Structure 1
Amino acid sequence: MCRARRKRFLRQISSSHPWSRMNRNIQYESSQNPENFLRILEKDAEERRLRRKMKEEKANALREQGNEAFTQGDYETAVRFYTEGLEQLRDMQALYTNRAQAFIKLKRYKDAISDCEWALRCNEKCIKAYVHMGKSHLALKDFKQSRICYQKILEIEPQRETMVKAYLRQVDLEEKAFLQEKAAWEELQEGTEQAMAVAELLKKLDRPNEINLYYCGGLELLSQAIKDCTGKTLFRLNNGFSIINGNNTVRSCLSQNSKDPYSVDLCLSIVKLWRTVCSGNEQNQQLLMECPGTREHMVQLLASPVREIQRENLELLSVYSQTQHGRDVLIANLNSNQMAENLMSCVCRDMSSALALTVLENLAAENKFKIQSRENFTAVFVLPLEHLLSNIMTADHKTLASVISVIGTMALDDAISKKLAGRSEFWRCSLQTMKQCIGCECRSVLYPLLGLMFNLASNPSQVVQEHAVLASSRCLDLLSDSSGGVITRAAGLLSVLLPMSLDATQEVVRNGVVKKLLKILKVGGEMSSRYSIKALTFCTASIPQARDELVKLDKRLHTLRNLLGSIDELVVGNAALCLGHCLEVDGAAVSLLGTDCVQLLLHHAAGDAKRAAVQQNAAITLGKLCKIEPRHMEKLRELHGLEILHSCVRLIT
């Protein structure tokens, strides 16, 4: 057909098509009556909106039914409901991600990935889609793609770094296990000595109803045969956990119910084997926890009357506590409160139990462990600590210092901190310990104890206020200590106690705190200066005697002026405020004539400090200085600072 005839044919078809006639009618009507045309469009849009709304309602109802089925573990039914929902609304992101999650439960990983891809077409920033896709790729051993999915989450929402790190850590562990199993299978195929020995020994240990001594010897040989990571993986691949933990004789000795004379040796051999196969092998650590009764035994054996069993079990827990994965496994599977109680008992019974402290120190930093410990924190941790503090002269000071550090880490949790800070007995024991530690061999306890008390006192409470006077007096005594660390923490504790108690401030001023703080400020480091100037500022703010002493001891307020040159804004702000307090002493402002005081204050008043209080304190003090001693105005004029002075006056008034 030639081109002209084809065009003519198409025009005929087009002119005879009903849609063409309708379009011409609409165009005609719109040209004749634009309002009718708009009404038609609005009606069509409203009809489409209502249809969309109806479909959304049906899709949401089906999604809820799918969620209910998913919650009950009926994943096939959940998939069916989600699929029916998608038939109603093809662009509903939640249905794709929910169905992907159900597919993962059914191990239909490729289907899950497909649904995640559809969800991303609906919303390219869908976090759930990347999470489920990452899990699916991980299940398919595609570690590279799994990492890409999780890293994509960080690009979208950087604040999810903690979550992403956990997912990436899981990928690393799965890849490590995969490579370990690959190496183990290769050894099995090659028939290496280790592979054959592990398999043969497990086969012999699988024999039931043998005497304890038989199993004891077999387990010892098995522990010796497992020489490296591949050996640990071979143990797992040969169903080692099922064989050992499925043995009635083994379970009996772990429960310590057996009266057989070799039951203790067998129990030791089992725990030693656990430690051997779990050390450095995260997959084995998880599998051990899944064995029936293991969780209870690991906690109970901490309280074993047999020291060797107790120590071997501590070694096992220490293996877990050394890695993030191991700590997560412990916290997720064991009774944290009972475990902590038994660990603290180990410490109190045997003050040389460094292993128990190691486990506690590692667990104490985990937020989940802190949360689980909140309810029984006083009984599990505080009462033993108070007992140790009350008997400090007979306690092992190094271990006690570690216990205090553990509790200090735990007290970073707000709920635990409030509970401990509000316990009067703790403060009584701590203050008694501070007194006993001065000038004796147990001074090593002071540093962590002062740190704990400082953190607790930073959140004022009625109990802290009640002990503020005595605590401040103890801190005053420690300001002359030979240890710089103790001095710094004593000054820090003093700086948080004085603002909450006028009586405490009056007491320490009467007993010479100004002189001691001034001495620290003359030679102190960054933190000691920060705490000391803060404490001194509170003293001069409320006690005239403190101002008089400072002006008398610090000629021309030389030390305070030096502090105005610090790079620490907290120090500068408090130094300016303290200087302002001292100006109320007769002759103080006059003594500053001819010094660089105006220049220093003007520099900070006109500066751009991050802390507004620095600028404000400097401005107020500068205004006071010029008001009390007008001759300072001459220096101010030289520095072209009158405009700043006017702003100072406004701040003062």
Structure 2
Amino acid sequence: MDEDLDAKLKELEKVHEAIKNLKSSADDKTEQEKAMAAADKILKERKANETKTVLNKTKINKPSDPNAGMMAAMAADAEKRAEERKKRVAEANRIKELGNRALKEGFPCEAERRYSEALSIEKSVPAIWTNRAIVRIRLKKYKEAIEDCDWAFRASNDKCPKAMINLGNAQMALGEFEKAEEAFNKCIKLGKRELAQSYLIKLKEKKEQQEQKHKYLSEDKVHRSDYIADITKTLLKKGGALEMYLSIISILEISLGRQKHLVYDFIDARGIDIFKTPDGIIIENELQELWITLTPDSIAKNCDQQNNCISTLWRLFGVVVRQNYPKGEEVMDDSAFPDILLGSLQSGNAEIRTCCLQTIFFFSSIETLRSKLVVVFHRTDTLKSFTDAILNDDGNSISLSMQIITNLTRIGDCRRLFRDDFTNTIQPTLISVLENNDKMESETVAKVISAITNMLKDDFIRRCVVSADLVWELTCHVLAEAPAETKDDIDMFTNLLGFLHNMSFDKSKIVIENAPRVARSIERCLIIKSKNDDVLLRCIGLFNNICTKNSECCSIIINYTEKLFACLNHGRENLRQLAGRLLACMAEKSDECCLRIVKADPGLSKICKFLDSKNDSERGNASLLVSKCASLIEPVPINLIEPLLNIVNTSPCDHTRKNAAVAVGKLSRDSAEGRKELHRCHGLEILTARLKNVKL
């Protein structure tokens, strides 16, 4: 009897422990699964241990179990949890497919976001962890990728070859070669020998290259001028092994990058000739031939070591030119350079393409090199091919590509070169970025918009953009819907507002038609980001432009009259001026706006102080506001007549004097006190003397 009691108590203790674990593991999916497995085990043991006595074909059950109700509740709870988990897994896999699609279309950041969303729903699917690890390796988030691989192992009981390969790749990228080798060897044990062997070969090559670099860089001689000269001469000799060439240019890249003065020893040893077509004097060698005959096809046929040489050469070229711009111009003048540039950009090799883009970006940042690039494009008629090549991208380097275009279009001649094919190359990129802004980083969107805005300085290009209704629609949509949380988000908003501001200068009917749409979209910016001075400045500046073109916009900005008055006291002079100009524009366009202005400033006291401003633009705007709103005020503010007459007498601007004179006329016309004040201040004499040549 005691033994039965002890058994029952132990069983009851197990049940209570299982229920406790089920409740406490709600937030951790892995622990929850362990708790559910323990509960299932108890249920199976109980079913197996049930004893029944059969007498005369009649079942006689043992006495009823006091824990039966609890066990039944636990079984029902386990079944419910299993069903819920099944639904979570299905939803997580659905979102995973969205991530897969984003990755395939070239939006790794969006793919990472989708995989993270899927994992927030269900953490037990190994494929989602491994997919996110792949994306994070591509985004160079190696430590985060390793964490994802660890989670994939937990979810698969350490039986996930894909996670093992990803782990090895991430560790290899971090230089943790022993750990990477261990991961690839474990993958062999998991049945993926051929795949793992290919990665072990890559690991061996990278390891040897790294060891050789460290060996050379640990010696003092690499920092000596004579050594740099010696290895540079070796670089130009014919018949060397490709491995030797790769080692030398790798050493040069690092040594010259660390010790800038060594660049001149490299140049003195004629090292720059490795980047130029042989002229019969320079000895042609295999490395030089690899460089000057570079094409997309040759890169595709090259071995990994050859393509590593090309990537390193691009980086070395950038290091040298940073210290000596004329040598960069010299290489760009070489007949083979345009083909080398296009071949690198058009290749399918991501490393070569990235190294090339980074070097060209530096060139485009320096005025002399930028001008030389444009001359080369113009001379060889390769700008279209170059633009196609840098924009034909999977989404990873579009930001860098557009920054290059931004820099190039600082030169008016280059903007004109872009005219012919703008609608077929750059504009589709703009539309694609705006359509997929939610899948891209805000920083990337901001840089693309900045590039296009810079190009709008060209009248022809601006007309192309302005005439595209889809551009208006998408830009306004992004302003109205995109998040505004981070600094990059704010930069994106600021650039979009600047983009619309430049578009609004166009005098076409399309701008007038789209003005209300723009006003509604930037209204959101005034609501959510009015504390940011740059956003506020761009919003008010844009409202100034569109209100002058379409008075319907005034019906929107009128709701922010008080905010504009607050801006009149702002510390930034340009913000004060724009706010005053917008209030004046509103008063000029709409009587309703005049009523709202008088309501916000009943005696025009806030406006009055700008009549004495040293800034003539502020005085002109204040005069216009008085001329439009004075008739709505009782009693007439005759105290404004004297400062207005002072403006008429001292302003260098005809338009400002005219506004002040009109305001004086309205204040003195219907009021005896006003006429007396005008006479006291010798107003008629001032008006007659100062307005002789002003058309009223």
- Confirm or deny that 1:322 pairs with 2:365: yes
Q: TM-score, normalised by structure 1?
A: 0.63
How far 1:436 sits from its partner (Å)?
Answer: 1.4
SS in 2 for 1:459: coil
> Quick check: 2:610–2:619 contact (8 Å CA) kept in 1?
yes
Which residue is equivalent to 1:236?
Answer: 270
Which residue is equivalent to 1:577?
Answer: 624
Distance 1:591 1:343 in 2: 65
Q: 1:20-59 residue pairs with structure 2 within 5 A?
A: none
Give the direction of change, closer, same or farther, for the CA distance of 1:544–1:648 in structure 2 (3 Å limit): farther
State the AA in 1 paired with 2:390.
L
- Confirm or deny that 1:489 pairs with 2:538: yes
Which residue is equivalent to 1:311?
Answer: 354
Which residue is equivalent to 1:202?
Answer: 236
Give the direction of change, closer, same or farther, for the CA distance of 1:327–1:225 in structure 2 (3 Å limit): same
State the AA in 1 paired with 2:396.
D
Q: 1:127-138 residue pairs with structure 2 within 5 A?
A: none
* Matching residue within 607, 613, 617 for 1:560: 607
> Quick check: 1:201–1:222 contact (8 Å CA) kept in 2?
no
Distance 2:563 2:677 in 1: 33
> Quick check: 1:198–1:225 contact (8 Å CA) kept in 2?
no
Which residue is equivalent to 1:631?
Answer: 673
How far 1:563 sits from its partner (Å)?
Answer: 2.1
State the AA in 2 paired with 1:286.
E
* Matching residue within 307, 329, 350 for 2:396: 350
Q: 1:122-201 residue pairs with structure 2 within 5 A?
A: 192-201=226-235
Distance 2:366 2:272 in 1: 26
> Quick check: 1:437–1:443 contact (8 Å CA) kept in 2?
no
Q: 1:176-325 residue pairs with structure 2 within 5 A?
A: 192-203=226-237, 206-207=238-239, 212-213=242-243, 215-217=245-247, 219-220=249-250, 228-236=262-270, 239-240=273-274, 241=276, 242=278, 243=284, 247-251=288-292, 254=295, 255-325=298-368
Give the direction of change, closer, same or farther, for the CA distance of 1:261–1:521 in structure 2 (3 Å limit): closer
> Quick check: 2:519–2:553 contact (8 Å CA) kept in 1?
yes
* Matching residue within 621, 632, 642 for 2:663: 621
Distance 1:439 1:201 in 2: 53
Distance 2:363 2:517 in 1: 43
Distance 2:483 2:230 in 1: 64
Distance 1:244 1:328 in 2: 31
Backbone CA RMSD of aligned residues? 3.1
Which residue is equivalent to 1:396?
Answer: 441
How far 1:545 sits from its partner (Å)?
Answer: 1.5
Distance 1:439 1:580 in 2: 39
Give the direction of change, closer, same or farther, for the CA distance of 1:563–1:245 in structure 2 (3 Å limit): farther
Which residue is equivalent to 2:593?
Answer: 546
How far 1:478 sits from its partner (Å)?
Answer: 3.0
Give the direction of change, closer, same or farther, for the CA distance of 1:252–1:564 in structure 2 (3 Å limit): same
* Matching residue within 466, 491, 508 for 1:444: 491
How far 1:490 sits from its partner (Å)?
Answer: 0.7
Distance 2:390 2:587 in 1: 48
State the AA in 2 paired with 1:616.
K
Which residue is equivalent to 2:502?
Answer: 455
> Quick check: 1:514–1:550 contact (8 Å CA) kept in 2?
yes
Give the direction of change, closer, same or farther, for the CA distance of 1:361–1:508 in structure 2 (3 Å limit): closer
How far 1:584 sits from its partner (Å)?
Answer: 3.4
Which residue is equivalent to 1:427?
Answer: 472
> Quick check: 1:620–1:652 contact (8 Å CA) kept in 2?
no
Which residue is equivalent to 1:373?
Answer: 418
* Matching residue within 600, 604, 607 for 2:643: 600
Distance 1:402 1:321 in 2: 15
How far 1:391 sits from its partner (Å)?
Answer: 2.4
Distance 2:647 2:686 in 1: 11
Distance 2:364 2:376 in 1: 13
State the AA in 1 paired with 2:537.
T
Residue by residue over 1:320-364, the C-alpha shift from the partner in whole angstroms, topping out at 9 and shown as x without a partner, is 223222112211214233323433444x6116x664455334323
How far 1:256 sits from its partner (Å)?
Answer: 1.4
- Confirm or deny that 1:502 pairs with 2:551: yes
Which residue is equivalent to 2:22?
Answer: none
Higher mean alpha-carbon deviation, 376-385 vs 615-624, is at 376-385
Distance 2:425 2:490 in 1: 25
Q: TM-score, normalised by structure 2?
A: 0.59
Higher mean alpha-carbon deviation, 267-276 vs 243-252, is at 243-252
Distance 2:652 2:426 in 1: 41
SS in 2 for 1:349: coil
State the AA in 1 paired with 2:232.
V
State the AA in 2 paired with 1:628.
D
Distance 1:487 1:530 in 2: 13
Residue by residue over 1:27-80, the C-alpha shift from the partner in whole angstroms, topping out at 9 and shown as x without a partner, is xxxxxxxxxxxxxxxxxxxxxxxxxxxxxxxxxxxxxxxxxxxxxxxxxxxxxx
Distance 1:583 1:646 in 2: 22
How far 1:622 sits from its partner (Å)?
Answer: 0.4
Distance 2:354 2:439 in 1: 23
State the AA in 2 paired with 1:230.
Y
SS in 2 for 1:555: coil
State the AA in 2 paired with 1:435.
A
State the AA in 2 paired with 1:369.
C
Which residue is equivalent to 1:413?
Answer: 458
Give the direction of change, closer, same or farther, for the CA distance of 1:544–1:201 in structure 2 (3 Å limit): closer
> Quick check: 2:456–2:462 contact (8 Å CA) kept in 1?
yes
Which residue is equivalent to 1:521?
Answer: 568
Q: 1:57-96 residue pairs with structure 2 within 5 A?
A: none
Q: Percent identity?
A: 19
Distance 1:238 1:417 in 2: 41
* Matching residue within 641, 644, 649 for 2:683: 641
Residue by residue over 1:576-597, the C-alpha shift from the partner in whole angstroms, topping out at 9 and shown as x without a partner, is 1121111232xx262414x3x1
> Quick check: 1:357–1:402 contact (8 Å CA) kept in 2?
yes
> Quick check: 1:551–1:557 contact (8 Å CA) kept in 2?
yes
- Confirm or deny that 1:479 pairs with 2:542: no
How far 1:221 sits from its partner (Å)?
Answer: 5.5
Aligned residue pair count: 451
Give the direction of change, closer, same or farther, for the CA distance of 1:558–1:274 in structure 2 (3 Å limit): same
Distance 1:523 1:345 in 2: 45
Q: 1:103-114 residue pairs with structure 2 within 5 A?
A: none
State the AA in 1 paired with 2:531.
S
> Quick check: 2:341–2:356 contact (8 Å CA) kept in 1?
yes
Which residue is equivalent to 1:382?
Answer: 427
How far 1:435 sits from its partner (Å)?
Answer: 0.5
Residue by residue over 1:357-412, the C-alpha shift from the partner in whole angstroms, topping out at 9 and shown as x without a partner, is 55334323222221211222233323222222222222211222122222222222
How far 1:460 sits from its partner (Å)?
Answer: 2.3
Which residue is equivalent to 1:590?
Answer: 635
How far 1:598 sits from its partner (Å)?
Answer: 1.2
SS in 1 for 2:438: coil
> Quick check: 2:645–2:660 contact (8 Å CA) kept in 1?
yes
State the AA in 2 paired with 1:294.
F
SS in 1 for 2:535: helix
Greater length-normalized contact order (CA 8 Å, ≥ 6 residues apart):
2
